[in-house]
Chain A
Amino acid sequence: MIRAVIADDEAPAREKLERWVAEQPDMTVVGSSENGLSAAQCIEQLRPDVAFLDVQMPTLSGLQVAAQLEPSSAPLIVFVTAFDEHAVRAFDLNAVDYLLKPYDLDRFARTVQRVRERLDAHESGAIAVAIGRSRAPSCERLLVPDGERLQLIDAASVEWLQADDNYVHVHTAARDYLLRRTLQDLLSQLGEQRFVRIHKSTAVNLGSIGSLTPLFKGDYEIHLHNGRILRLSRRYREALFARMGQ
């Protein structure tokens, strides 16, 4: 069975999708959300095969939801939108599926067929995630797990990131969060402006660096404003200096 999550803030639109997905013999609706944040939570917890995301929703837009997902594990994403010429153009270029409201059963069937083909080819939602990241101003905020729930934090409040296998420890002044993401992917989402890598498994917010102390053999110690000391490896030294010199 293909497991689907549906998110739309307008009840009639949501019910229409729920009904039509449920009518497919090989599909089932595992979750249904009325806003972006709960949609992200649904996807995180239920790990569906496909997510139908309305573009305009409260809390997080469909594009912002996609932008927060980890590309390799993201579900296939079908964006649903009433009218967004620019978004539609982007989808066209990247051949990610989208539904334009209002759509009829034929058009919906074509979408479902495409979803089946992509799943058979073991494709992920990576393209949709890339589109979301390029189109949504999401790099300023980060979705992090907080117990059973998800919450949004300011990217600026993150002091440093520490990779731990397939997880990343997100350190803020208030507390730490554990994210099931790779450091590489998280950095690509947060963008190059604020964060810089200082070690194979560590990245730091440029704004939280207090001072640098040279060590033996070209390594450095980085002292954060909060007193923590991190190691800067030679490999990333030039890149950091270049960024700090700007």
Chain B
Amino acid sequence: MNVLSRPPPAGVHTDYGATFPPKTLATLWALWAAFWLLMITVSIEDQLRDPLTRWWEPVLSEGSSALVSTGWMWLAVRVRGRYARYLDKPLIWFGSYLRWLPLVFITWITAVYAIRHGVYAAVGRTYEHPGWGFVVVYESLKLTYFTGLWLGILFGIDSYGQWQLQWRRLLQTQKALAEAQLAQLQGQLRPHFLFNALNTVSALMHTDVARADRLVAALGDLLRISLRSNEHEMTPLAEELHTLELYANVMLERFRDRVTLDWQIDQALLDIPVPALLLQPLLENVFKHGVEPTVAHVRIIVSARHESGSLEIVIGNSGSMLASEHRDGVGFRNCRERLGIIYGNTASLLVRNEGDGVATRVLIPLMDTIQ
């Protein structure tokens, strides 16, 4: 009767290797800007001591380098989507970029020196530099060094971005899988519950017509509630406990002589809104793991009370303990997720051994729920 269906997770549309989280690009350009700012500053500082040099000369020198380098960097960033699939093969990734290095040398040196010569000529001066042979070798070496450095940074940032995307995709896949399992579980539980309940009615009506009648009515109500409710709905605690009671009545009839159920409800709390159909799967769990596999008599206590600013609902059963390697099932995780969506981390759901049995404890913050 657990009707917890949820909308499909908001998907991040990605073609493998073509997209990166937007923050990675911002980080890259921020680093780039900081790098050139530093280069220009250092260069100005250096030249200030030389009285023959004007202030704009180092700015022009580094600025022209920065301008042309940024053009190449922009191109490198443009094609990074195409090379992203090689991120797990660094040699191929670096090779794909580095093969453009000769072209970079030629265009970079040509463009930078053209700008410098142009600007000097415009102010009526001559740009003096060592011979072209020296310039080509010196600048190529410098370019190789900085290209290597920045490719390394780009590689790091892109690898991290890809890892993030893949991690997110993995989480989504796991979530979808859990949902599929839940749907499957529901498909198995519901018919099983119904057929067994129907068989109980079929047995009872030969001996106690009034009881059989009550059982059919309870079943009908339960079906109506489970068809009507959805997980976004809130319902007063009284209503939720009534649903729980209907379910319990059917189960108590089935497991007559094996179970007793006591209610300890603080009547002052009955109007507090709680998520609809939150408790029924928890009680179902108690029957499935605490009653059905046990030969001994089981006592179940359902209590609701005010506990330091929270509504505390406990479903406890005697006679069975959690296995030491116990892991929460899909039903539990789903309930916990619902609580998280509605109340953030102020609500909790815990199941643990207490005394001679197991207690399932739900804590719902009171301040947020009073409307």
Contact = CB atoms under 8 A, between A and B. Distances in A.
A and B: partners? yes
Interface of A: 9-13, 15-16, 19, 34-35, 56, 58-59, 82-83, 100-104
A103 B195 CA distance: 10
B195 A10 contact: no
Contact of A101 (B198, B207, B256): B198
Nearest to A35: B295
A5 to B, nearest CB: 18
A12 B292 contact: no
17 contacts: A9-B292, A10-B199, A10-B254, A12-B200, A12-B204, A12-B254, A12-B256, A13-B196, A16-B206, A34-B295, A58-B295, A82-B196, A82-B199, A83-B192, A101-B202, A102-B201, A103-B202
A15 B203 contact: yes
A37 to B, nearest CB: 8
B255 interface: yes
Chain A interface mostly helix, strand, loop or mixed?
loop
Given A12-B254, A58-B292, A101 B204 contact: no
A82 B195 contact: yes
User: Considering residues A11, A34, A100, which has the most beta carbons from chain B within 10 angstroms of its beta carbon?
Assistant: A11
Contact of B192 (A13, A19, A82): A82
B110 interface: no
B11 interface: no
Contacts of B207: 15
A9 B295 CA distance: 9
A-B pairs, 9 with minimum CB distance: A16-B203, A101-B199, A12-B203, A82-B195, A102-B199, A102-B202, A102-B198, A82-B196, A12-B200
B174 interface: no
B199 A13 contact: yes
Interface in B178-200: 188, 191-192, 195-196, 198-200
A56 B295 contact: no
A10 B295 contact: no
A101 B293 CA distance: 19
B88 interface: no
A73 to B, nearest CB: 27
A101 B188 CA distance: 15
B253 interface: yes
Given A82-B192, A101-B196, 17 more contacts: A9-B292, A10-B255, A11-B255, A11-B258, A12-B199, A13-B196, A13-B203, A15-B203, A16-B202, A16-B206, A58-B293, A58-B295, A100-B195, A101-B199, A101-B202, A103-B199, A104-B202
B253 A12 contact: yes
A19 B257 CA distance: 19
Nearest to A36: B295
Contact of A59 (B203, B255, B295): B295
A10 B250 CA distance: 12
Contacts of A101: 195-196, 198-199, 202
B294 interface: yes
B289 to A, nearest CB: 12
A86 to B, nearest CB: 11
A102 B255 CA distance: 16
B199 A58 contact: no
A19 B204 CA distance: 12
Interface string B10-28: 0000000000000000000
User: Considering residues A59, A101, A104, which has the most beta carbons from chain B within 10 angstroms of its beta carbon?
Assistant: A101
Contacts of A19: 206
B285 to A, nearest CB: 16
A164 B165 CA distance: 67
Contacts of B198: 101-102
Nearest to A81: B195
Contacts of B203: 12-13, 15-16
Contact of B196 (A10, A16, A34, A104): A10
A203 to B, nearest CB: 32
B292 A56 contact: yes
Contacts of A102: 195, 198-199, 201-202
Contacts of B201: 102
Given A101-B195, A101-B199, A58 B294 contact: yes
Contacts of A35: 295
Contacts of B192: 82-83
A60 to B, nearest CB: 11
Given A34-B295, A35-B295, A58-B294, A13 B195 contact: no
A11 B253 CA distance: 9
